[in-house]
Amino acid sequence: MPELADRKKCTGCTACQSVCSSDCIEMKADSHGFTFPVINRNKCIECRKCEKACPVLNLEGVPDQNTIAFAAYSLNRELREKSSSGGIWGELAKEILDRHGHVYGAAYDRDYSVKHICVTNVSDLHKLQGAKYSQSELAGIFKEIKVKLEMGILILFSGTPCQTAGLKMYLNKEYDHLICVDFVCHGVPSPMAWKQYVLYRAREDNHGELPLSVNMRSKETGWSRYQYSNVYQYGNNSMYSKKSTEDLFMKLFTADFINRESCAACQFKGYDRVSDITLGDFWGVWDIAPEMDDNEGTSLVLIHSDKGADIFESLSDRIKCRRITLEQASRQNPSLIQSSDSKKERKKVLDEISCGNMKDINRLLDSTDGRLRISMIQRNISACVRRAVHRISHSRNEKR
Binding stretches for ligand FAD (CB under 6 A): 83-90, 105-106, 114, 128-134, 136, 158-160, 183-186, 188, 279-281, 283, 299-300, 333, 335
Please report, as a single letter, which amino acid is at residue 169. M
Q: At its nearest, how many Å lie between ligand FAD and the CB of residue 203?
A: 24
- Which residue has its beta carbon closest to ligand FAD? 105
Q: Which of residues 49 and 82 has its CB atom nearest to ligand FAD in the complex?
A: 82
∠ Cα 314 315 317 (to 5°): 105
Q: Which residues contact 232 (CB under 8 A, 6 or more apart)?
A: 201, 205, 211, 213, 214, 239, 240, 241
Beta carbon nearer to ligand FAD, 39 or 231: 231
**Whole-number Å distance between alpha carbons of 222 and 229:** 8
**Rounded least distance, CB 38 to ligand FAD, Å:** 22
Alpha-carbon torsion (359, 364, 369, 370), positive or negative: positive
Task: Give me the DSSP letters along 161-204.
Answer: HHHHHHHHHHH-S--TTEEEEEE--S--B-HHHHHHHHHHHHHH
Please state the closest distance from residue 79 (CB atom) to ligand FAD, in A: 8
Q: Kindly tell me which of 12 and 37 has the beta carbon lying closer to ligand FAD.
A: 12
- Residue 281 CB, nearest approach to ligand FAD (Å): 4
Minimum distance from CB of 227 to ligand FAD (Å)? 14
Min dist CB 315 to ligand FAD, Å, is 11
Q: Please, which residue, 160 or 275, has the CB nearer to ligand FAD?
A: 160
Q: Which is nearer to ligand FAD, 49 or 283 (CB)?
A: 283
Rg (the chain; Cα; Å): 21
Q: Closest by alpha carbon to 278, among 306, 299, 254? A: 299
**Strand runs labelled E in the chain:** 25-29, 35-39, 68-74, 102-108, 114-119, 155-158, 178-183, 213-218, 229-233, 239-243, 277-281, 299-303, 319-324
Residue 391: name the closest of 333, 326, 337, 301 by CA: 326
Pick between residue 272 and residue 281 the one whose CB is nearest to ligand FAD.
281
Shortest distance (Å) from residue 299 CB to ligand FAD? 5
Give min distance, CB of 214 to ligand FAD, in A. Answer: 12
Q: For 255-357, where are the alpha helices, taking DSSP H only?
A: 285-288, 306-313, 326-331, 346-354
Nearer to ligand FAD by C-beta: 4 or 188?
188
Give the sign of the dihedral formed by CA 146, CA 148, CA 149, CA 151: positive
